[in-house]
Amino acid sequence: MSLRAIKYENNSLEILDQLLLPAQSKYIQVKGVEDGWKVINKMQVRGAPAIAIVGCLSLAVELQSENFESKRQLRQDVEGKLNYLVSSRPTAVNMKIAADELIMLANKMSEDESTELQDMKSKFISTIEAMLEKDIADNKAIGDFGAREILNSVSGDSLVRILTHCNTGSLATAGYGTALGVIRRLHELKRLEHVYCTETRPYNQGARLTAYELVHDKIPATLIVDSMVAALMKHRNVSAVVVGADRVAANGDTANKIGTYQIAVLAKYHGVAFYVAAPFTSIDMKILSGDHIVIEERPDHEMTHVGEHRIAAKVSVTLDHIRKEAKLVVLVTKVPKPLNYNGRKASTSEQIERCTYRVFIENEDIRYSAQETAYAAVDRLIQVVGHARRASLARVSTANSSTGAAMAETVEETYETEVRRKVIRRSIKIEERLKTETKSRSATGRVG
């Protein structure tokens, strides 16, 4: 029986309370937007894809019982509540992208005279409900593509050992998972020897959640302390690191769970391939680089307490300290250009583009970074569940290390919506700005 973190049946929404795992498996009923905001903010549900789905479904549940006098009133209600849901966890971009697209849909239907009020409400709810199945399909596509890419990098039929961080599985998505989806697919192909998952302090998502999923699926795994990663890479022949992403900027800067930065640095040092698995909805083309990613501030008791029990001395732990620790951004890959140039699909050669690879801490006073030049290319197009989807891969290889970096992304051929066209135009402008900045840095000899 597959693990279900989100249950949505007969207009009723329940989520598995992840704060109680692994000791208890208890579902919480989400009756509307206010409940949705609370379970997201309190991290009873977490993971960027799951946040967007639960947030939107909480709105769908609330709309079922509400009556509106006009389409304008419905549109205003939807827009206000979606913007409120976005504020629950600002770092994860998926909720913001989903909100923007749903608001655009509401505006379009509101202005369409042929659309009746009840039809508008029904269409809006059905669009939200479709997100659940689409996320699972996308995750399975990412899992299959990522698994096969990792296997292409090893010799013969040898088994692989994978290290992962935080939780990116069924508990973080609608089902199957992103980075953990890659691991699940390797296990299904009988090519997975072992998984190592970090405890992921301070909230222990790895120890509480990832380990829980691995045990549930009977996948061979070992839980390690966060400080053991270097020794593991040195002595246990790790084949690859696979992590998820909360948000990816237009230039490829990736914001992920605290601790991702140090793992990326260690992977580079030990020559271990480093992969980020994320859906297209985690990519925010509106943000130029990681410098502009909003990092939420978490309360200090998450570091000093386990549950209600204090485990740290009563020293000063200010929000500023936590903010500095949380602002870790690691660039793992360059997002390929969209498959569209002035209305036509781009050839593979046109998709090859220059990118940079850098790892840095996002604080000006302690920002020291190494910047290198590499090249990223879309690997191929694949067919997934009967629909043409794009699974693009950016490979990064540097002169000083064999470390690779990749991101698998999937998107349906219905890519050419009004929203996507705007994103494409914006991303092209961003590309031009990035090239100008790169030339300026090269001219001045400035690093990072």
Closest among 172, 149, 373, 358 to 239, alpha carbons compared: 149
Tell me, yes or no, if 246 is annotated catalytic.
yes
Buried b (16+ CB within 10 A) or exposed e, 154-185: eeeeeebbbbbbbbbbbbbbbbbbbbbbbbbb
Is 176 in a helix, a strand, or coil?
coil
Calculate the CA dihedral of residues 173, 174, 178, 182 and round it to 10 degrees: 140
Distance, CA of 289 to CA of 430 (rounded, Å): 10
Distance of CA 142 to the CA centre of its chain: 12
DSSP 284-299: ETT--SGGGPPPPPPP
Q: Contact 404/419 with Cβ under 8 angstroms?
A: no
CA angle in degrees (0–180, nearest 5) for 324-325-328: 95
The catalytic residue among 135, 246, 253, 284 is 246
Strands (E), 225-335: 240-243, 247-249, 253-255, 273-277, 283-284, 305-306, 309-310, 328-331
Strands 192-198 and 160-164: parallel
Distance of CA 271 to the CA centre of its chain: 24
Q: How many other CB atoms are found less than 10 A from the CB of residue 16?
A: 21
Q: Residue 276 burial (CB < 10 Å; 0-12/13-18/19+)?
A: buried
Give the phi and the psi of residue 37 in degrees, each rounded to 5: -60, -45
Distance, CA of 93 to CA of 218 (rounded, Å): 32
Q: Which residue has the tokens 């020897």?
A: 193
Q: Which residues are catalytic?
A: 246
